Amino acid sequence: MTSPRATVHVNLPGREYDIQIGPGLLEAAGQAIAPLGGRRHVAIITDETVAGLHLKTLQDGLSAAGLTSEALALRAGEATKGWPQLQRSVEWLLDQKVERGDVVIAFGGGVIGDLVGFAAAILRRGVRFVQIPTTLLAQVDSSVGGKTGINAPHGKNLIGAFHQPSLVLADTALLGTLRDRDFLAGYGEVVKYGMLGDAAFFAWLEKTGPALAAGDMDARVQAVTRSCQMKADIVQRDETEQGDRALLNLGHTFCHALEAATGYSDRLLHGEGVAIGCGMAFELSARLGLCSQENPSRVRAHLRMMGMKTDLSDIDGELPDAAALLGLMGQDKKVVAGQLRFILARDIGDAFITSDVPADAVLSVLDDALKQRKMG
């Protein structure tokens, strides 16, 4: 039986690239990267966890196509995504004598992709890079679309650049080495695509989600492909987030406040925050009379069936009060002229962007969720 493979083309004039999706792409990485040109030597930046599991396979795959490589492995985790490791990465790339025509590989999850993409954006005013995402979250979201950056004490992703990759290799076999928790966190971003713009995809996930989580490779390739296709379509329309691209932030205004409240720690992974945030965005939409109450119930029922974090009560430890959480939302990049922008929904698969959300409605959703948490 042949392994399932798919390609999504991101059609940005002058900066087009392919996202290749399927198992076994790591072993064949050299064949995919060699045609990009530049020196026959590539610089890889990864994290220690991924290096231990997969670096040899990647380097063997590069060698098979006549490419030599050097690798820098950073500590795994969100704390890496800041100035110190950015400086370390850029200076290491300069030590490697990386020039403008060369290729840098970002090999890891979202943290590595964002950090290394930003390093590539600013090194010599822009060198090419290849994303080889190793987590579900990175394969369906952060590796596609050219958003790169680091966190600041003031909030996530506040320092960065738009810098599109030259190629994305999403090897779905790598998903088999993820902890269940990390796989499900990534699934939060997959299901988000169904909620924001494809009701049929959401219904397919309701049916196929358990098989996908259990390791069904065809289902995994299909889910990653549909997610990447939806993201590519939106990025092609609005690369620098002047309009439609903000739809991809469904659930993120709540999510970023919750991540800040939990100190960007292991208490809440990004994809878990997205899942909880999507439930809250649908709850807010229902309270504002935009969609039926059945929508938030259906969203939460699916997340719960998948064994995911669904409500604030699923977050361990202390959380600030509703007013403080609303204040944390004000630090988000989705603030325009002091107005919070929310992605709300008229139905599953029909999201829209609005700044016309009364603060007291947001406070009541947060307040009720916190009360429910205390009761739980």
Question: What digits encode the pLDDT tens for the residues 169-188?
Answer: 999 999 999 999 999 999 99
**Annotated catalytic residue within 125, 154, 179, 374:** 125
To the query of whether residue 157 is one of the catalytic residues in this protein, the response is no
Catalytic residue status for 374: no
Residue 249 is among the residues annotated as catalytic for this protein: yes
For residue 146, which phi and psi values (nearest 5 degrees)? 85, 5
In a domain, 34, yes or no: yes
| 191 is a domain residue | no
- Do 166 and 40 sit in the same domain of this protein? yes
For 59-87, letters b (16+ CB in 10 Å) and e give bebbeeeebebebbbbebebebbeeebbe
Catalytic residue selected from 54, 81, 163, 252: 252
Q: Specify whether 129 is located in the same domain as 82.
A: yes
pLDDT tens readout for residues 230-240? 999 999 999 88
Is 183 a domain residue? no
Could you tell me if 139 and 224 lie in one domain?
no
Question: Would you say residue 188 lies in a domain?
Answer: no
165 assigned to some structural domain: yes
Residues 110 and 142 in one domain: yes
Decide if 366 contacts 257 (C-beta within 8 A): no
Q: What band does 137 get if pLDDT is binned at 50, 70 and 90?
A: very high
> Per the structure, how many domains does the chain have?
2
Q: Same domain, yes or no, for 156 and 235?
A: no
Exactly one of 147, 163, 226, 309 is catalytic; which is it?
147
Range name among 23-27, 78-82, 273-277, 293-297 with the lowest pLDDT average: 78-82
Contact 151, 123 (CB under 8 A): no
Q: Which of 151, 156, 192, 241 is catalytic?
A: 241
The HSE-up count of residue 282 (CA atoms within 13 Å, CB side) is: 24
Q: What is the pTM of this model?
A: 0.94
Of 177, 207, 236, the position where a domain reaches its end is 177
pLDDT of residue 16: 94
Q: Which of 245, 300, 302, 334 is catalytic?
A: 245
Question: For the domain that residue 256 is a member of, what is the CATH number?
Answer: 1.20.1090.10
In a domain, 335, yes or no: yes
291 & 171 share domain = no
Catalytic hit among 81, 156, 163, 231: 231
Q: Which of 81, 128, 156, 249 does the annotation list as catalytic?
A: 249
Residue 26 lies in a domain: yes
To the query of whether residue 252 is one of the catalytic residues in this protein, the response is yes
Contact predicate 142/163, CB 8 Å: no
User: To which residue do tokens 């397919």 refer?
Assistant: 204
78 is catalytic: no
Q: What is the pLDDT of residue 337?
A: 60
Residue 93 contacts residue 104 (beta carbons within 8 Å): yes
Domain that holds residue 117: 6-177
77 and 42 both lie in a single domain: yes
Distance CA 263, CA 317 (A): 11
**Pick from 110, 145, 177: which residue ends a domain?**
177
In this predicted structure, the answer to whether residue 332 has a pLDDT above a threshold of 90 is no
Q: Which residue has the tokens 């205004």?
A: 253
Structure tokens at 346: 């008229």
Distance from chain centroid for Cα 301:
23
pLDDT exceeds 60 at position 333: no
Structure tokens, 129: 């890079």
Q: Provide the pLDDT for residue 1.
A: 46
Pick the residue with more confidence: 335 or 147?
Answer: 147
* 190 occurs within a structural domain: no
Nearest to 344 by CA among 255, 282, 271: 282
Domain boundary among 177, 209, 237: 177
Catalytic site residue 245? yes
Tell me, what's the pLDDT at 264?
Answer: 83
- Residue 334: C-alpha distances to residues 139, 145, 172, 174 (Å): 23, 17, 32, 33
HSE-CB at 32 with a 13 A cutoff on CA atoms is: 25
Q: CB–CB of 111/82 below 8 Å?
A: no
Which of 128, 151, 157, 189 is an active site residue?
189
Same domain membership, residue 337 and residue 259: yes
Residue 89 sits in a domain whose CATH number is 3.40.50.1970
Q: What is the mean pLDDT of residues 97-124?
A: 96
> Rounded CA gap, 297 and 300, in Å?
5
Looking at the fold, whether 172 and 230 belong to one and the same domain comes out as no
Looking at the fold, whether 224 and 336 belong to one and the same domain comes out as: yes
Active-site annotation holder among 270, 300, 309, 341: 270
- Our answer to whether residue 241 is catalytic in this structure is yes
Report the mean per-residue pLDDT for the chain.
Answer: 94
Structure tokens at 276: 């909880």
Q: Are residues 206 and 145 in the same domain?
A: no
The mean per-residue pLDDT over the stretch 330-334 comes to 63
Query: Same domain, yes or no, for 64 and 209?
Result: no
Known catalytic membership, residue 270: yes
